[in-house]
Structure 1
Amino acid sequence: MLTYTRDRGKKQTIWDIIDIPQRGRQLQEAIARGLPYSIFLRIAHYAEMTNAELVGLLGISVSTLRRRANAGKLSVGESEKIIRLIQMMNAGLTLFDGSKEKALSWLKSPSRGLNGIQPITMISTFAGTNEVLALTGRIEHGVYC
């Protein structure tokens, strides 16, 4: 798994920063319970997005976000989308050798391999996320689209 160095030489993965398990039963249970609202805030900060931008990707309204903040957790569907976004960001970090700036720029820019669609906008579906992850794999292996 790719790591990057943040401050004082400590290596961390994006999963460490977000503080949720990367896979397995613990991740499934965390999604089923609804991820803590604090993860929404951490992801927005990490991805250098405003709350409004991330709300748009999740497909919810600002008033719904306010209710999630009050409740302290996201819905199952919103949690799923957050996990998809984290998976895409991790793939971008791998693709760009740990460069957060390059990974975020790529995710937010139209991609020829996705018919001009911004990869980050494809978190709304499992199929879209898989397409982005497959594209990063093809690019890593030199199969250009």
Structure 2
Amino acid sequence: MSIVVEANDRPLVTSLYDWETGCIVPAILSDPSMAVSPVDLVIEENAAPSFDNEPDDTTVEEGLKYTAWATEYAKVLFERAPDYECAIKAGKDARHLWFALRDWRGQDPEGYFGRLGDWAEARAKDLRVD
């Protein structure tokens, strides 16, 4: 993680190392997920805490525990780097596209990119972009 300290002593995250791609990426395109067995703690597109990859036999109590873990993770992350939360929120559409391109494995390009195009058209309509 590349961090600069602003004049007011606030940390500003500028870039992060992406372990999946082996690259340094701008903070706005980063994936702030953390693997904590048996789930992955994730920050959703609007900077909301969540978790992924829970086992099929996850109980309600375990789900509540994972939610608490994700909430605490987001709280500490954004307390330590408040501008990072703004970057996550501001870059939600760019991050959606970045992750979609990163995660594509080469199968069914017409279907995959057709769905991505449908998403982009819907977002443009939501944003009232002609």
Q: Which has the higher helix share?
A: 1
TM over 0.5: no
Name the TM tier (shorter chain).
under 0.3
Which protein is bigger by CA-based radius of gyration? 2
Q: What is the TM-score when the length of structure 2 is the normalising length? A: 0.26
Q: Which has the higher strand share?
A: 2
